[in-house]
Amino acid sequence: MGSGTLITLMLAAIVFSAGGIAVSKILTKGSTNLQKGQAYECGVPTAGSAWKQFNVGYYLFALIFLIFEVEMVFMFPWAVVAKKVGMLALVEILVFVFILFMGFLYAHKKGALKWM
């Protein structure tokens, strides 16, 4: 068992999806025309490819997220033993969270969490 299950499930997913796609490949006839393969944009021709440089402000959130995600990673083992370790665990995590919360507050003060 163990990680074999994961591989099995992965294979199952692949078989399932590939099977479905294969069935649709076999059983359907498509038609072709000049406009079919073009990108759909509300029914009018698009201006060039979509693969150009974007200007989206999401990356700042991704930055901050990354920091908190790492923090969360540390909290999982902590959470598991917190009850056993007792008060010490609380104190430790308080320090940990407090320091990070400072960062969070800083981000907030600086307006980094506001939408650009």
Partner 1 sequence: MDFKDIFFYLIAIYILGTGIMAVSTRKIFRASIWLLFSLIGIAAFYFWLNLEFLAAVQVAVYVGGIVVLIIFSIFLTQKTGNQMAKTGTQQTIFAALASLLGFALTAYLVYQHHFGSNQTQELDASIENIGTQMLNPGDGGFLLPFEAVSMLLLSALIGCIVIAMKIKKEETA
Partner 2 sequence: MDVKVTPPSEPFPGTVHPTDGGGILLSTLDDVINWARSNSLWPLVFGTSCCAIEMMSTAAAKYDFSRFGFEVARATPRQADVIIIAGTIVNKMAPVLKRLFDQMPDPKYVIAMGACATSGGPFFYNTYSVVKGADHIIPVDVYVAGCPPRPEALLHALITLQEKIKSGATRDQIRIEMKDNGK
Partner 3 sequence: MFEQVSANNNGELVINVGPQHPATHGVLHLLITLHGETVTKLEPNLGYIHRSIEKMCESLSYRQFIYTTSRMDYLSSHINNHACALGVEKAMQIEIPERAEYIRVLMSELTRLASHQLWWGAMAMDLGALSPFFYAFREREVINDIMEETCGARLTMNYFVPGGVMYDIHPNFVKRVKDFIVLFKSKIAEYDELVTGNVIFQNRMKNIGIISKEDAISYGCTGPTARGSGVSCDVRKNYPYSIYKNVQFDEVLEYGCDAFSRYQVRIKEMYQSVRIIEQLIDQIPEGEFQAKTKAVIKLPKGEFYTRVETARGELGVYIVSEGGTTPYRIKFRSPGFSNLSALEHMVKGHKIGDLVAIMGVLDLVIPDIDR
- The Cα 38–Cα 45 span in angstroms is 8
The one-character DSSP state at 42 is: T
78-97 residues near partner 1, rule: CB under 8 A: 78-82, 84-85, 88-89, 92, 95-97
Distance (Å, whole) CA 116 – CA 63 = 14
Restricted to residues 46-85, the positions that interact with partner 1 (CB under 8 A) are 49-56, 58-60, 62-67, 69-74, 76-82, 84-85
Does residue 34 touch partner 2 according to CB under 8 A? yes
- Taking contact as CB under 8 A, which single stretch among the options 12-20, 23-31, 36-44, 104-112 is the one that binds partner 1? 104-112
Instruction: For 39-69, give one letter per residue: b (16+ CB within 10 A) or e.
Output: eeeeeeeeeeeeeeeeeeeeeeeeeeeeeee
- Assess 36 for contact with partner 3 (CB under 8 A): no
- Specify the residue, 54 or 76, whose C-beta has the smaller distance to partner 3: 54
